[in-house]
A and B are shown apart, each in its own frame.
Chain A
Amino acid sequence: MSMVDLIIGIISFALTVMVFSYIIGDNFFFRLAVYLLVGVSAGYVAALLLTSVIIPKLIQPLLNGAMETRLLALIPLVLSAMLLAMLVPRFVRIGSIPMAYLVGIVAALTISGVTMGTIIPQMTATVNRFDPAVLLDGEGQPWLKIVDAVLVLIGTITSLLYFYFGTRKKPKGENKKPQLIEGLGKIGQVFIGITLGALFAGIYSASLMALISRVAEIWAFFGSFFRL
């Protein structure tokens, strides 16, 4: 084991123990480890953005690029300067221009992406499950495919109805969801509960693997000394 590996191993073990100390409550060592993580991450991101984005895509084109490239590089420079102007309260309005540009583009991309990449494909997939060609062809029993398709359809519809909050105003002043939607929404609640349970299991699995990874590394580190 080299000296570098030894130092890294000791620091790694110390940081692991410091994070684990949160078991007995919030304390200085845990906070120190968290501050280290945040500080190192922020520094790393700043350095990365500087070396991977700002210098090669803004500074270098302005300094070494052709005229056309320089003019094009002026656009992000001006927009960046306008964004920085938001730091001064008097010039907040100036920064709203690039912010509006960014928000508008991201919103448009998100809406189009969700529509084209999620809603339509998944609705199509749900409908295609009832395609006779799909049901009869391929492996598996057709009736199992039908049950699977029906379950998917019921789960999709009832889960969407669970989030239906529209009510019709009644003369007595009671605003209640229609009973049909209320009942179907409760079925959707079951599907949502199963999904959330699966997510929780996944979170635990990921956390468990993180723990095992740390234990394995620490075990290997000390094993190198004691030949475990």
Chain B
Amino acid sequence: MRLGLASALNALNAEDDNVSGSLFPEAEKDLPDLLRDLHEENSNDARTRESSSVSQSGGADEGSGQNDNAAKDEQPAEPEAGKDIPEWLKKVRQRVGDEGDAYGDLVKKVSARDSSLEEDVDKELRRQFDDWIGRLRSDAQQEAARDGFEPLDEEGLQGEVPAWLRYLRESKGVSPNLAEGMDRSAPNAGEKLPDWLGDTGEESQAATGKLKAEGTSGENEATQQIRLRGSEELQEHQPLAEQEYKTDLVTEPEDLGAQAADISLGLDDVTRQMQVSHASLGGATSGLSSQAVEEGFWEERTEHPMLRVARSQRSRAELLKALVAAEGKPAEKQAAQRRRKTWLFRLLLALLLLTAVIFPFLSTSNQTPQTGTLPVEAQALMDSINALESGSPVLIVTDYQAGFSAEMEQVADPLIRHLAQKQVQMVLLSTYPEGVWLAERLLDVSLTDDSFSQVREQAVNLGFLPGGRIGLLSYAVDAQASFAEGVWESSNLGNINHINDFSMVLILADTLDSARSWLEQAGPSLIDTPMFMVSSTQEAAMMLPYLDSGQLAGMLSGVQDAGLYETALGDTVMTSTIWSAYQAGLLAMATLILVGFVIGLESNARTKQEEEQKK
């Protein structure tokens, strides 16, 4: 062994001598004494061999042959040398390793052998480790796929890690790989943990106790910082997962493996929460990551217990779901509520009005007829009728619709009776189709007294005058030509050929348009024949200018004037009950308008106040 080692050293030193003098002059001083002695001895031997080889040139081949034999004998001793390597040899090998060109073939072989042995061990360990990691990942992916989770790829995960989290990881010494490992810890990974991680020894018990005592202190310090930082920035986004995780920590864990699984699960969730929360802080979707907006995302995840979201996120998600689900429905709801309110309001108004109108019919108290002064225009009409002679033709135009017949008949009733009292010949005409039978009805309603039977029989209903304004003008120009042959003759109106032949023209109109048509088309044709207007209260204000301009000789409008006209005639046909109901209805509506006005003011004031408070 001594010879083998010496020969090896000789070979080493032979090469070392070439460089030691120039490259490492100080290195020789560091050699141990034994090595230095050997070095010196070998140097002497080398010099002796060199001198002997120079002096005994013929013995060189023999000598070399001896050395070869010696080298062959020394080879089996090399493995034994590797088992117990002295310190100095290690240093030598280290030095040789550092200086690639400084070692010889033997050292190269020894180093290659050792490194090959180490590589074999590493490869085996790495292969086992990779298999274990691969199993974990495949299990996690299968679990996630079964649960509806979309596995995050590394790029996506790295891309979604917020800047502050990366900064924390770097500052706290958490390597990205470790962080990724934490982030991507698969659920249920504890079930597949290796023995060394799932070991429940004293250390694990101590770690469990420490976890119990310090809560989350059992986690990586960097993770705690992440958790703290996240909780500070996301106070409203307190993850439910974290709470559940903490709860798990407080409860009795059975072993460290389960605890580690919970930790990894919790970290995984926390990381996910932070990613989602980070997206929620800056995202326009208010708490929803871009993935969350995708169709079907919420449906899959909200129904799964593995999804753990913050309360605020859950509430926002619920709100969004409600908004999406009720798209188009809120308007219908509001409209339905409005309709219900409107329906109730209408019913209330109707009941109030009906009560006010019906009450006079129920009342048995004496109701006096209307008293007052007859308006000037109504007085002019009365005077004109009083001036009529018996048998004078009076044209009565019934241009009103059936809907207004109630009021128009009430207004025209005293006039018709007044004309009947004067025994005039009534000629009825209408430019409205329904005016034909409304005229008949007017006579039937007003001339109920038997004393008016003769007048009723002499009354002529010319019927419908077609053509609107054109028909009116035609009638004003040539009255007979406007009707079919025989109508005029059969009506016993032989002495009337023109509108001016009538003693009076009485227009019963419910709208300004129909009244204006007569005033504009037939009015200019009237020379000596006065035109009077009987209108509803609605259009009375619009008729006044024509009265002021003299186009109308007189006017009677509204139930009030009709009541006064009736009173002036000395009749009480219009029942005082109707008049009382009319007054009660007006009073009720005026009260409602006032109440509505006050409520509207109060509502506006409240709305303004609320808006100011909001501002």
Contacts and interface: CB of A to CB of B under 8 A. Distances in A.
A73 to B, nearest CB: 12
A216 B358 CA distance: 9
A209 B541 contact: no
9 contacts: A45-B433, A60-B484, A109-B521, A113-B521, A124-B549, A202-B558, A208-B353, A210-B404, A219-B358
Contacts of A53: 464, 466
B436 A48 contact: yes
Interface in B516-563: 516-517, 519-521, 523-524, 536-542, 545-546, 548-551, 558-559
A205 interface: yes
Interface string A22-50: 01110000000000000001001100110
Nearest to B542: A199
A210 B406 contact: yes
Interface in B292-327: none
Interface in B462-520: 463-464, 466, 468-470, 473, 484-485, 487, 510, 516-517, 519-520
A190 interface: no
A213 B542 CA distance: 25
Contact of A212 (B536, B548, B582): B582
B469 A110 contact: yes
Contacts of A81: none
B589 A204 contact: yes
Interface stretch (A87-95, A115-123, A163-171, A176-184): A115-123
Given A56-B485, A195-B542, A213-B407, 12 more contacts: A25-B343, A44-B434, A117-B551, A118-B519, A125-B548, A198-B541, A199-B539, A205-B407, A209-B559, A210-B406, A211-B354, A216-B581
A215 B521 contact: no
Interface string A90-110: 000000000000000110011
B577 interface: yes
Contacts of A41: 434
A206 interface: yes
Interface residues of B, number: 60
A44 B433 contact: yes
A109 B247 CA distance: 93
Interface of B: 339, 343, 346-347, 350, 353-354, 357-358, 361, 403-404, 406-407, 409-410, 433-434, 436, 463-464, 466, 468-470, 473, 484-485, 487, 510, 516-517, 519-521, 523-524, 536-542, 545-546, 548-551, 558-559, 575, 577-578, 581-582, 585-586, 589
Given A53-B466, A210-B406, A24 B521 contact: no
B15 to A, nearest CB: 99
B484 A125 contact: no
B581 A215 contact: yes
B578 A212 contact: yes
Given A116-B524, A121-B549, A215-B357, A209 B538 contact: no
Interface hub of B510, B520, B540, B546 (most chain A Cβ within 10 A): B520
A212 B581 contact: yes
Nearest to B404: A206
A210 B536 CA distance: 11
Contact of B537 (A52, A152, A206): A206
Contact of A202 (B339, B523, B538): B538
Contacts of A57: 484
A114 B523 CA distance: 11
B520 A113 contact: yes
A209 B403 CA distance: 10
B538 A206 contact: yes
A13 B581 CA distance: 19
Given A209-B406, A212-B406, A213-B406, A109 B473 contact: yes
A125 B545 contact: yes
B586 A24 contact: no
B347 A210 contact: no
A216 B407 contact: no
B589 A25 contact: no
Nearest to B585: A208
A23 to B, nearest CB: 5
A140 to B, nearest CB: 11
B603 to A, nearest CB: 21
B577 A202 contact: no
B310 to A, nearest CB: 46
A116 B585 contact: no
A215 B359 CA distance: 11
B479 to A, nearest CB: 15
B537 A121 contact: no
